[in-house]
Structure 1
């Protein structure tokens, strides 16, 4: 797999049910998770694959259809192999938190195994497509 948008994430951006100017966050995903483009919300990934979540992303930009934000961090929940970052619209409830993008490139420092409680710094790609490009 490579960096990709979830189908419902793409749909939500286009029909504006996902507000990219709102509370967008990132979750570190354990390697046990198998990407499925049809997954719609965090409940589809299940809490067993969650290895930490960030606070709301800051300094978001949308220039030329390219989404970017300030680098962020999260605290790892488990000493478990983790191979992807999932970007989502935070709603406070996993069943309604819409999935947006799946990032698993080695340039993002993935895969790796953090320690329990480790602060994981997330440096977004600084290339032309940043976090993702529509």
Structure 2
């Protein structure tokens, strides 16, 4: 699966329903053996708990410049569990059924060993429109 923006997120952007710089945006590292991207997925409850290897706190230093979303790199502390093959970005609301999915980022390959995992975003940004 290639990286993709969730269609429900695109709709939110076009209707003014989300502000990436002020919203609580978080990143989950996921095991793709337990979660498969679907364009029909719209909220965090569509990502099974068993697929979620670790969840970040709110992303820091978020920017939107020239159609590119970016944020500070993320470190997950003392990670153990299943292998990681993707990252799912979402808007955290505190309730899984209202936490909008934003992006599925493929191409990650990490096997947790109890140590920290640092996600270093691409120098050109996390994603561009």
- Decide: shared fold, TM above 0.5: yes
TM-score by length of 2: 0.90
Partners of 1:131 and 1:37 in 2: CA distance: 19
The 8 Å contact of residues 13 and 20 in structure 1, kept in 2 or not, is answered as: no
Secondary structure of 1:40's counterpart equals: coil
Deviation at 1:54, TM superposition (A): 0.6
Structure 1: 5+ residue runs without aligned partners?
none
- CA 1:42–1:35 in 2, change beyond 3 Å: closer, same or farther? same
Higher-strand-fraction structure: 2
Q: Count residues with an aligned counterpart.
A: 127
- CA 1:76–1:34 in 2, change beyond 3 Å: closer, same or farther? farther
- CA 1:96–1:75 in 2, change beyond 3 Å: closer, same or farther? farther
Match of 1:94 in 2: 96
RMSD: 1.5
1:30-109 correspondence to structure 2 within 5 Å: 30-32=31-33, 33-75=35-77, 78-105=80-107
Deviation at 1:132, TM superposition (A): 0.6
- CA 1:50–1:37 in 2, change beyond 3 Å: closer, same or farther? same
The 8 Å contact of residues 6 and 102 in structure 1, kept in 2 or not, is answered as: yes
**2:116 paired residue among 119, 123, 126:** 119
Structure 2: 5+ residue runs without aligned partners?
none
Match of 2:3 in 1: 3
